[in-house]
Structure 1
Amino acid sequence: MNAPHAPLSPLTTGSASLQHQWLPFTPNREFKSAPQMFGSAKDQYFYDLDGRPVLDAGSGLFTTPAGHCRAEIAEAVHAQLLSLDFSPSFLRAHPKSFELSTRIAQLLPQGIGKLFFVSSGSEAVDTAMKICLAYQRAVGAPGRTMFVSRERAYHGVNFGGVALSGMVNNRRAFSNIVHGVVHMRDTWLEENRYVTGQPEHGRELADDLLRLILLHGAENIAACVVEPIAGSTGVLVPPKGYLERLREICTAHGILLVFDEVICGFGRTGEAFASQSFGVTPDLITMAKAITNGAVPMAAVAVADHVHDAIVNSAPDGAIEFFHGYTWSAHPVASAAALAALDIYRDERLFERAQSLSGYFLEQIATLAELPIVTDIRGYGMLAGIDVQSDGKPGRRGHLLQRKLYDAGLHLKTTGDCAIVAPQFVFDREHIDQTVDVLRNTLLSFGA
């Protein structure tokens, strides 16, 4: 399909130097020798500095399912900046954040009705960990200070999230700062190779939590933290019955269950949250990214009423119940952006659209299994992972694949030797076809 022209005059670097910014998760020397930059965006496309379209098959960074540069969000942000640009959330507040909390609560599973606003997924995870510790103290179990996570998990880059994470490169230099985190196995199994949707095999992996309880004692464990779908590691979809079994074990042993839905939240699985898609209700849910359609940094922790009430009601009258927060918590501009994004999701029925597109998307992605370089494909909803054969140095081929895809007019994320496809919900079938065609041709360029 033919992409539209760039909506604005393409930007140039002009006299700006590339030498002063230190880019995250980037080989900076390589980037500065051959930069790949975007100058503008509109709807389903980024545009490079020459105005060349690059189809966004990664929804930015899982952030922008409603398409880029939505006028409704821009207008809401502009109006907010002219009326109330900042309001502290310490001892003060503003109406939009309460409106936003109500709107999000209406999307959440029943019984999860309290929202604590932060600015990033990493902040949301660390906040959730603190809430779990505060809850256990409030109910008379201060010895519950340990956390259980999973291998191959990604929970952000703050120290708490790094301790929870099970992706080795994120942990190597930083993971020993926060202690008391133990890990279950991840859910990838050989017998589930090339399966899209929920795999049949692997429910028993949830019993790793029981093994850790026997080893460390339930009386020492505050919470179990998992991504419903392990996203950044390469889209590991939970086996049938796996999340249900985790819920059962946590409930039986007084352990809180936390779902990290920073990637899965806001329609990626076809429902508002993956907990609803999989029919399992946790005690806390972290969210970020698509909460504002990527327009303004914002995130939140959704907390079950019984967890919130235990913490708040255990404090003396007039006392601060939870000594935690950020300058930017519930920022009025971010709140306005999020409300506008929620309006778009509702009015354009984008979660339903994602659900209806998912079957076609996963079918087309599955056709890449015929390529010799492809070693596995997994997916659920509007999210898929494609493993490519390593060239002997883990991650090198995946990194080169991403650079080649940019040159071929396609944007997505790679982790190691896995390409992660997360289409926008405003894609048509033609955009999915274009995504798969570019992927196929680029993968073929590597040879056998």
Structure 2
Amino acid sequence: MAAARDLKAKETADADVDAVELARRHLVQPWPFAGSVGTEARALIGEGEGIYITDASGKRLIDGPAGMWCINVGHRREELAKVMYDQAMALSYNTPWYTMNAPSAELAMRIAGHAPGDLSHVFFTTGGSSAVETALRFMQFYNNVRGRPEKKLILSRGGAYHGSTYLSASLNGRPRDRHWMDGADELVVKLSSPDPFRRPHGMSIEAFTDFLVDQFRDTVARIGADRIGAFVGEPVQASGGVVVPPDGYLKRIREICRDNGILYISDEVVTGFGRLGHVFASGEMFDIDPDMITFAKGVTSGYFPLGGVIISERILQELRRSNHPDALFGHGLTYTSHPIGCAVALKNLDILEESVLAHTREVAPYFQAQLKTLEELPLVGEVRGMGLMGCVECVADRESKDPLKLDKDVGKRIDAHCHELGLLVRPLINMCVMSPPLIISREQIDDMVAILREGISRTMDDLRKEGVWAG
């Protein structure tokens, strides 16, 4: 028996070595640097269960980022795997061009039931980037049909992340995302990030909010509302460092959009499906009713690629009443309304509604309070978050809030220490982002924060020894 276990362990280890070597020879990783493109092997993950994953060495790790903000109901949910199998055995695929399937129709109905305002219809995509791309193309189509072909500019913000397809990536407001990449810059107007931590020195939160709103209003006046088709904004800027906007900011922006005929697109690819304790955060947490909501990630808890756009009934009625009934929205994807993805999403929504949403709302305050204790560490400038989203931002000193004097890989240093201690972190230059599976318990939150505290402490020791930081 022991010999059999040893043999299995050796075979697994050999397979892992083979996978690493195959990746170096043949696999192009996402977001590679030119100097290592096509030769890189990243940390190999073998298994997942609950809030944990296991790496190639057999080390068990808390999945701090929940995959990529998406493993909301946790790893290895047998009921999701069973639905995937059953649907594949019943109908694995149908063309959405001239046929349809029942799971997509039911899922659209249930999603519409959770959406705010008059958001009533869903167009399904394959993920977040294609969801944002679809929303933008629908805005263009809408204005063409309405006889406003010049109304196509898109307002976005510093620190934003909206995807990797051409139009969606053009909205991104993180400088490193665009340094070497082209985009539809002629269509996008960038506004300031709504990051209270980075507001001008001495400015109150209230004054900062007024500044952001005035900048938005002035931009509309300067460019002309007749040229601006949409504003796209995440309720919480996720990959920009979990930036929670000031109270009332989003609602005031929504009012300006409504007054000027600008479509408000709420990008809930991250915040949707439980991350903030609700299926959608726009209405429940921020009291706004967008014209469109984009979603992905948590809709299937990462078990199957799926995304979508929820569209206002008003917009659809205006199209149906137009003088161009034959105008064609020439947009679709091979895997639009995929039956397996929609079936998985239905079961995932069952799980969320049954217990996970309520659990998230119950543990979120504890999660935020425990993370906040890390501000005791001198390397930490701010801990911020909402729901089960959190960010630890490290700075050279708290007075200047300057991250540039630090090693730019300080987040990776912290992640490396945490990996040794049993936690996977999402490093973003000088920040560590945490967004664990929504099923995490208070005890597991304690474990996660304790490891993160130790990882930051070890990083501080490293920086002091190297003379990089004297804090």
TM over 0.5: yes
- Preserved CA contact (<8 Å) 1:53 1:409: yes
Q: Distance in 2 between matches of 1:304 and 1:151?
A: 27
Per mean C-alpha deviation after superposition, the further-off stretch among 402-411 and 217-226 is: 402-411
Deviations 1:82-117 (A, max 9, x none): 111111111211111101111111111131011000
Is 1:411 paired with 2:424? yes
Is 1:346 paired with 2:359? no
Q: Distance in 1 between matches of 2:456 and 2:67?
A: 21
Is 1:282 paired with 2:285? no
SS for the counterpart of 1:353 is helix
Is 1:425 paired with 2:438? yes
Unaligned runs of 5+ in 2: 1-7, 396-402, 462-470
Q: Distance in 2 between matches of 1:432 and 1:26?
A: 32
User: 5 Å matches for 1:287-298?
Assistant: 287-298=295-306
Structure 2 counterpart of 1:66: 73
SS for the counterpart of 2:18 is coil
Structure 1 counterpart of 2:161: 154
Change over 3 Å in CA distance of 1:377–1:122 after alignment to 2: same
Q: Distance in 2 between matches of 1:421 and 1:201?
A: 29
Change over 3 Å in CA distance of 1:176–1:35 after alignment to 2: closer
Q: Distance in 1 between matches of 2:356 and 2:38?
A: 35
- Preserved CA contact (<8 Å) 2:415 2:455: no
- Preserved CA contact (<8 Å) 1:201 1:240: no
Shift of 1:416: 1.9
Per mean C-alpha deviation after superposition, the further-off stretch among 17-26 and 59-68 is: 17-26
SS for the counterpart of 1:179 is helix
Q: Which amino acid aligns with 1:292?
A: T
SS for the counterpart of 2:231 is strand
Structure 1 counterpart of 2:97: 90
- Preserved CA contact (<8 Å) 2:296 2:308: yes
- Preserved CA contact (<8 Å) 1:379 1:385: yes
Structure 1 counterpart of 2:139: 132
- Preserved CA contact (<8 Å) 1:270 1:277: no
- Preserved CA contact (<8 Å) 2:145 2:324: no
- Preserved CA contact (<8 Å) 2:29 2:40: no
Deviations 1:343-397 (A, max 9, x none): 11112x2111111111101110000001011111111111111101347366311
Per mean C-alpha deviation after superposition, the further-off stretch among 32-41 and 215-224 is: 32-41
Change over 3 Å in CA distance of 1:213–1:437 after alignment to 2: same
- Preserved CA contact (<8 Å) 1:258 1:284: yes
Q: Distance in 2 between matches of 1:191 and 1:152?
A: 11
- Preserved CA contact (<8 Å) 1:128 1:286: yes
- Preserved CA contact (<8 Å) 2:84 2:343: yes
Change over 3 Å in CA distance of 1:241–1:333 after alignment to 2: same
Q: Distance in 1 between matches of 2:82 and 2:303?
A: 12
Q: Distance in 1 between matches of 2:407 and 2:243?
A: 18
Q: Distance in 2 between matches of 1:364 and 1:212?
A: 40
User: 5 Å matches for 1:23-34?
Assistant: 23-26=29-32, 29=36
Is 1:20 paired with 2:33? no
Structure 2 counterpart of 1:262: 269
Shift of 1:140: 2.9
Q: Which amino acid aligns with 1:306?
A: R
Change over 3 Å in CA distance of 1:179–1:411 after alignment to 2: same
Q: Which amino acid aligns with 1:235?
A: V
Is 1:323 paired with 2:305? no
- Preserved CA contact (<8 Å) 1:149 1:226: yes
Cα RMSD over matched residues?
A: 2.2
Structure 1 counterpart of 2:116: 109
Is 1:41 paired with 2:54? no
Q: Which amino acid aligns with 2:291?
A: D
SS for the counterpart of 2:74 is coil
- Pick from 361, 380, 384 the counterpart of residue 367 of structure 2: 361
Structure 2 counterpart of 1:443: 456
Deviations 1:182-222 (A, max 9, x none): 011111234879xxxxx666321122211111221111000
Structure 1 counterpart of 2:4: none
- Provide the aligned length of Structure 1 versus Structure 2: 434
SS for the counterpart of 1:445 is helix
- Pick from 181, 188, 191 the counterpart of residue 184 of structure 1: 191
Structure 1 counterpart of 2:447: 434
Change over 3 Å in CA distance of 1:391–1:222 after alignment to 2: closer
Q: Which amino acid aligns with 2:297?
A: K
The structure whose Rg is larger is: 2
Q: Which amino acid aligns with 1:381?
A: G
Structure 1 counterpart of 2:388: 382
Higher helix share: 2
SS for the counterpart of 1:157 is coil
Shift of 1:136: 1.9
Shift of 1:401: 2.0
Q: Distance in 1 between matches of 2:137 and 2:290?
A: 16
Q: Which amino acid aligns with 1:309?
A: Q
Q: 4+ residue runs of structure 1 moved beyond 6 angstroms?
A: 30-34
Give TM-score, length-normalised by structure 2. Answer: 0.87
User: 5 Å matches for 1:5-16?
Assistant: 12-16=15-19
Give TM-score, length-normalised by structure 1. Answer: 0.91
SS for the counterpart of 2:243 is coil
- Preserved CA contact (<8 Å) 2:382 2:394: yes
Percent identity for Structure 1 against Structure 2: 30
- Pick from 197, 221, 227 the counterpart of residue 214 of structure 1: 221
Change over 3 Å in CA distance of 1:424–1:179 after alignment to 2: same
- Pick from 331, 336, 357 the counterpart of residue 343 of structure 2: 336
Q: Which amino acid aligns with 2:370?
A: Q
Structure 1 counterpart of 2:5: none
Q: Distance in 1 between matches of 2:207 and 2:339?
A: 46
- Preserved CA contact (<8 Å) 1:228 1:243: yes
Shift of 1:405: 2.0
Q: Distance in 1 between matches of 2:38 and 2:383?
A: 29
Shift of 1:333: 1.1
Is 1:202 paired with 2:205? no
Q: Distance in 1 between matches of 2:104 and 2:118?
A: 20
Shift of 1:316: 5.2
Per mean C-alpha deviation after superposition, the further-off stretch among 397-406 and 27-36 is: 27-36
- Preserved CA contact (<8 Å) 1:66 1:426: yes
- Preserved CA contact (<8 Å) 1:163 1:179: no
SS for the counterpart of 1:51 is coil
